[in-house]
Amino acid sequence: MSQHFDVIVVGGGPAGLSAALILGRSRRSVLVVDAGEPRNAPAEGVHNLLGQEGTAPRELVRIGRQEVARYGVTVTDGRIVAASATPVTADDPVGFRLTLASGEVVAARRVVVAGGAVDVLPDVPGLAEQWGRGVVHCPFCHGWEVRDRRIGVLVTMAAAAHQVQLFRALSDDVTAFVADPDLLDDTVLAGFAARDIRVVRTPIVRVLSDGDALSGVELADGTVVGLDALAAASRVEARVEWAARLGLTPVDQEVNGTVIGRVLAVDAVGRTDVPGVYAAGNAANAMHTVVVAAAAGSQTGAAVHGDLLQADVAAAVRGRAAEGVDAPFPVR
């Protein structure tokens, strides 16, 4: 027998827990299913989240779980492996059944996809081992921690030119590694020169470490360039494989004509093309930082509550009509 909830939230990070929080406070029955694989797990701390600056990612999740539990939200560790669209109550034509890896089946009237994403990294030996430590990607998330250090930026797409200048605002010692000469035009290169940003055209073949710390990069000609940090953009892939059975397929997300990842397409409040299914956080936007993902989750949670409320009102009206109550209700 399936357990029935108003809403199942798939993913227990900032987006999912924020959606669960606002739904729980609206007296909705909510289940959060969390696989325990936060995208930001390699980072030492969360930044730019007011009141929680520097908090470790898993500690933030622990705090969030405690908070949603105060409002009756159930959180379970697990992974969704299958899904189907089928009504779970007689009063609501929309509903879903989700199967966990354990074999348990849970049901809900609405689903919020908030399982985040994975970072597909540049294929450079040694880079993955330093991801989230010596290898960073966001100047706002990690820039302060590498300020005034020797920073390299691996330019693999045209949009990374802006990233180079953002890191230049944090240090006087910045090197752009640009193996593809067609990526940057003369205007961008003039901006680099004006800001004393070095440009290296020889490809990086290895990221070097000294113990746990990044120490530099080795180039194809054997040259070693000493660095304290290397910025590298990833390609973001939403964790939504299970949702394909509901008719959801990721789409390319572009920034200035450059594809930065594949996510679920949603409207302003997180609605997907499948009625009753919503998405928030990195599952729907590769650029969401923790604070933005949390805000999106809260907004989506409110939208889901409104959706359910409309269904509840429609069911109540049908119920009154079935009872033969078709005149205006008395006003006292």
Joined together, the tokens standing for residue 166 give: 């953002």
Query: What is the Cα–Cα distance from 272 to 4, expressed in whole angstroms?
Result: 22
3-state SS of the chain: helix, strand, coil percent to 5?
30, 30, 40
Residue 206 sits at φ, ψ, to 5 deg, of -165, 140
**Residue 243 C-beta-side C-alpha neighbours within 13 Å:** 27
Query: What is the Cα–Cα distance from 177 to 223, expressed in whole angstroms?
Result: 13
Cα dihedral sign, 242-243-248-252: negative
Query: What is the Cα–Cα distance from 248 to 277, expressed in whole angstroms?
Result: 9
Give residue for tokens 């966990």.
100
Query: What is the Cα–Cα distance from 150 to 146, expressed in whole angstroms?
Result: 8
Per residue in 263-298, pLDDT (tens digit) is: 999 999 999 999 999 999 999 999 999 999 999 999
Per residue in 82-116, pLDDT (tens digit) is: 999 999 998 999 999 999 999 999 999 999 999 99
Joined together, the tokens standing for residue 182 give: 């067609």
pLDDT at 263: 98
Cβ atoms 42, 132 nearer than 8 A: yes
Residue 183 sits at φ, ψ, to 5 deg, of -75, -35
pLDDT at 1: 43
Q: Residues of the chain with pLDDT > 90: what percent? A: 86
DSSP state of 324: T
Bridge-partner residues for 32, per DSSP?
A: 9, 75
Query: What is the Cα–Cα distance from 140 to 132, expressed in whole angstroms?
Result: 13
Query: What is the Cα–Cα distance from 5 to 89, expressed in whole angstroms?
Result: 10
Q: Which residues contact 94 (CB under 8 A, 6 or more apart)?
A: 85, 87, 109, 110, 275, 276, 311
Average pLDDT over residues 252-260: 88
Cβ atoms 85, 96 nearer than 8 A: yes
Joined together, the tokens standing for residue 117 give: 């994403």
pLDDT at 225 over 50: yes
Q: Which residues contact 6 (CB under 8 A, 6 or more apart)?
A: 23, 28, 29, 30, 108, 109, 110, 308
Average pLDDT over residues 123-150: 95
The band of 331, judged by pLDDT with boundaries at 50, 70 and 90, is low
Query: What is the Cα–Cα distance from 122 to 119, expressed in whole angstroms?
Result: 10
Per residue in 41-68, pLDDT (tens digit) is: 888 899 999 999 999 999 999 999 999 9
Q: Is 76 exposed, middle or buried (0-12, 13-18, 19+ CB in 10 A)?
A: middle
What's the pTM value of the predicted model, to 2 decimals?
Answer: 0.93
Joined together, the tokens standing for residue 261 give: 């990842």
| pLDDT higher at 2 or 121 | 121
Query: What is the Cα–Cα distance from 200 to 220, expressed in whole angstroms?
Result: 11
Query: What is the Cα–Cα distance from 226 to 217, expressed in whole angstroms?
Result: 7
